[in-house]
Amino acid sequence: MQCTIKPLWPHQFWWGFFLALEKDKKICYNTDMQNINTNQQVETASLKKSRKKIVVIIILLLLSFVGIIALVAMILFPFVRILSGAAQTTVSPKYAVIEEAIKVSNNVDYISPSIAFDDSFASAAISWDQDNDNGDAAIFLRSSNDGKIWSDWYETILFYKNNQTRYGEILFFPASSRYIQVKAAPDEHAPKDITIQKITINIFPETKIPLTAKIINSLAGKFKIIQALAQTAGTDVKIIPRAEWGANEDWRFCTSWDASKDTCAAKSPDPKWLPEIYPVKKFIIHHTAGDSHNKIDPKEAIRNVYRWHAIIIEGGWGDIGYNYIIDQQGNIYEGRFGGDGVQSGHTFNGPYCKRIGTAGQDATPCGVSKGDVEIGYQMNAGTVGIAVLGNFNTEVANEKVKAAIAKLINLKSQTAQINTNDTADWNVPIKVKSPDGMEPGIVESAIRDSGALLTGKNLSFDFDFTDPAKPLAVIHGLPTIISHRDVDRTSCPGDNFYPQLEEIRRLAINPTTEYEAKFESSTLPAAMYVSKADSGEIKIRNTGSRSWLKADVDLRIFDNGRKPSLFKDGPWNDPAGKFSFAEAEVKPQELASFKVPLLAPQYAGMYKHEFALFKTTDNTEIFGSAFDREMRVDETHQGEFVSSSLRAAVKTVWRPTMKLTFKNTGFATWSKNTVLEIYDPTGTPGAFKSKTQNGYTASKLGATIKSGENAVFTLKLTPPQTPGTYKQIFKLKDGDKEIWLGRSEVSIMTRVDK
């Protein structure tokens, strides 16, 4: 048998090359025909197997290619407008009107019949007319999908008012609602009779999403991690642009709306709502209210708010009234067109009408040509309005929402170069329309009168007329981060959210988790004596992701309201202490120990300490580290009243003996010169006299009383000769120092009879 190296045939070479088969093959020739046939059969079987492998590999390559295309599509998904919801079918709102005049009073609420709509909806808004300015009616809505089982009543936020007409903010309801009811009640702040009429309910039919969009949305849900990475690339604050949530930019230029065709009938070359830019001074937080658990797509919800503001309210403003909107997942959406500092329409005070020559204000249309002065407080100027899709009267803001608000404010406050801890005066422009030639003094008087209508929580203000053409309302003491209710008569952003504002303010200082801390324990004394020193240890846990070095972090102590501490001791390096921890390094989840020396102030009383950790590099407060403690400071000379042996009633002819017992509860020993003084309520010496009476002094102790011991004063008394009820007030004095008896007054009442 002879063996040689035989080259492959062309077809064999091609298959072999594609599959990385051998480049050549050894074939042994044998004159035996049986061996030749066997080799041919083996070769044929090998080729069949190779072809099957090729088919499998080609299929796998095609599937991989399709997968890569799908992966790229999902990464680009948020930036493709057709996938963002912008191309979804928009359905125009439908409305119903209750024309009848309705009177609500302190004892009578109004509830409308149920109103049915052909289209299902998950959001609605309401407007109404009011005949006077006796406060504002509280308007509630509820919905149902069958007219039998109803949602809760949701109070609409009074969003805007212009003369007689009031507009509530859009509310969100359970999905697939078809029925709605209205309830009206008087203003709880000023419950007066109110007549309302022309109640207009606008529903926003649920968006019809095409099948292809549903499929794409379903696929997108499987790539949330990839989406999140793509969205947050390059920045920790991702703001979803208007184009992505589907803002129809034509609406900003629309001057006339054709409701029958649901389209703009006429446009202007310039925006209907011209942008005005002001330096940012305040951040005002809102909620939209309604059902927090509805299933409406946040982008659809924002488009509905946009339509309500841009097209419907007051004939359409031309844009959405918020600067930013945040959903329950913490996604941040761009609102009003124009960028940072553009004046929006989220907080209103006015316009009010001052009728010259009449008392008070009036809600009826202002007639400047008739001599009236129209006044509006421009609280949207220099403010950033942030609305959260949710109802914080029924829910508490979740961590995603709080983090999103804080990160957004942190970013925008840095851009505006303002301090989020500031409470500086806020100059609010006042927009005034008055008749030509009206004396400035009359206009100024009208503005001052309108100040009575400025409402808000603890709102303190005055006026600045330095430039008569640009009067200002100067509002005092408001923090940089406030809520709608701080500047207007409203419950917005909800009773549950309002207490969370302080947390938002602290979180906005440091919205990252790199530096975070949590108070763990304290051995500080609960009480100290005046001018005496003491100390304790505070332990705080590092809950952030970064280790602390001594040079990185310090503990600072303040008096109530972040004022300089009254407990500053000699070893303090700073009025706030600036104490370093004892450890060389504090890693995440480890405890930092701070030794704190204190020197009590010279006056007794209750004091409140505020503690917080700060980064030494930039003096910013570490999130979560703040806590407070109350401490009692006692006098060294301190006691308490124990008992009196004097009867509740005596006769004028009696000479009763009274024993008064006091306990020394202080730090110092009472000297033998300690005296008992007795006063009556007018501040003159007491009406009961003792044999040893000398002015106010009724008795002298005569012995030293140590801490914990009782002092007994025994007096032979002569009652006053005029029958009546007498009050005796007791004081103890050791030299020129009054002994604190634990309360502002120690006294007894005694009746004197004939």
Flag the least confident range among 82-86, 195-199, 385-389, 423-427. Answer: 82-86
> What is the band of 102 on the pLDDT scale with cuts at 50, 70, 90?
confident
Residue 676: per-residue pLDDT? 94
Residue 477: per-residue pLDDT? 86
Residue 24: per-residue pLDDT? 46
Structure confidence by residue, pLDDT tens digits, 245-261:
999 999 999 988 888 78
Going by the DSSP 8-state scheme, the letter that residue 18 receives in this structure is H
Flag the least confident range among 65-69, 390-394, 576-580. Answer: 65-69
Q: Is the pLDDT of residue 12 over 60?
A: no
Flag the least confident range among 21-25, 79-83, 160-164, 669-673. Answer: 79-83
Flag the least confident range among 14-23, 54-63, 120-129. Answer: 14-23
Residue 19: per-residue pLDDT? 44
Helical packing angle, 224-232 and 33-76, nearest 10°: 50
Residue bearing the bigger pLDDT, 280 or 259: 280
Q: What percent of the chain has pLDDT over 70?
A: 79
- Mean pLDDT comparison of 431-435, 498-502, 573-577, 659-663, highest-scoring range: 659-663
Residue 21: per-residue pLDDT? 40
Q: Is the pLDDT of residue 298 over 70?
A: yes
509 alpha-carbon distance from chain centroid: 14
Give phi and psi for 28, each to the nearest 5: -95, 125
Which DSSP string corresponds to 240-275? E-HHHHT--GGGGGEEEEETTTTEEEEE-SS-SS--
Going by the DSSP 8-state scheme, the letter that residue 307 receives in this structure is H
Flag the least confident range among 93-97, 537-541, 573-577, 584-588. Answer: 93-97
> What is the band of 360 on the pLDDT scale with cuts at 50, 70, 90?
very low
Residue 717: per-residue pLDDT? 92
What integer is the mean pLDDT of 275-300? Answer: 84
Cβ contact 665:637 at 8 Å: no
Q: Is the pLDDT of residue 60 over 90?
A: no
Cβ contact 503:453 at 8 Å: no
Which DSSP string corresponds to 429-475? EEEEE--TT--HHHHHHHHHHHGGG---TT-EEEEE-SSTTS-EEEE
Q: Is the pLDDT of residue 87 over 60?
A: no
Residue 723: per-residue pLDDT? 94
Residue bearing the bigger pLDDT, 590 or 167: 590
Give Rg (Cα) of the chain.
Answer: 40
Q: Is the pLDDT of residue 35 over 70?
A: no
What integer is the mean pLDDT of 468-490? Answer: 86
Residue 176: per-residue pLDDT? 83
What integer is the mean pLDDT of 445-457? Answer: 74
Residue 553: per-residue pLDDT? 95
What integer is the mean pLDDT of 228-244? Answer: 64
Cα separation values, 659 from 637, 679, 694, 725, 743, Å? 21, 17, 18, 20, 20
Residue 350: per-residue pLDDT? 63
Mean pLDDT of the chain: 80
Structure confidence by residue, pLDDT tens digits, 682-727:
989 999 998 888 889 999 999 999 999 999 999 999 999 999 999 9
CA distance 328 to 21: 58
Residue bearing the bigger pLDDT, 640 or 468: 640
CA distance 293 to 152: 12
Residue 536: per-residue pLDDT? 93
Three-class SS of residue 505? Answer: helix
Q: Which residues pair with 42 in a beta bridge?
A: none
Q: What percent of the chain has pLDDT over 90?
A: 27
Exposure on the CB side of residue 213, measured as CA atoms within 13 A: 14
In 191-315, beta strands by DSSP E: 194-205, 239-240, 254-258, 263-267, 282-287
- The sign of the CA dihedral 64, 68, 69, 74 is positive
Residue 72: per-residue pLDDT? 59
> What is the band of 113 on the pLDDT scale with cuts at 50, 70, 90?
confident
Residue 430: per-residue pLDDT? 84
Of 374, 349, 379, 378, the closest CA to residue 364 belongs to: 374
Domains annotated on the chain, with CATH: 2-73 (no CATH), 94-212 (2.60.120.380), 349-379+423-478 (no CATH), 512-634 (2.60.40.10), 639-753 (2.60.40.10)
Residue bearing the bigger pLDDT, 451 or 638: 638
Give phi and psi for 504, each to the nearest 5: -60, -45
Residue bearing the bigger pLDDT, 406 or 47: 406
Residue 611: per-residue pLDDT? 93
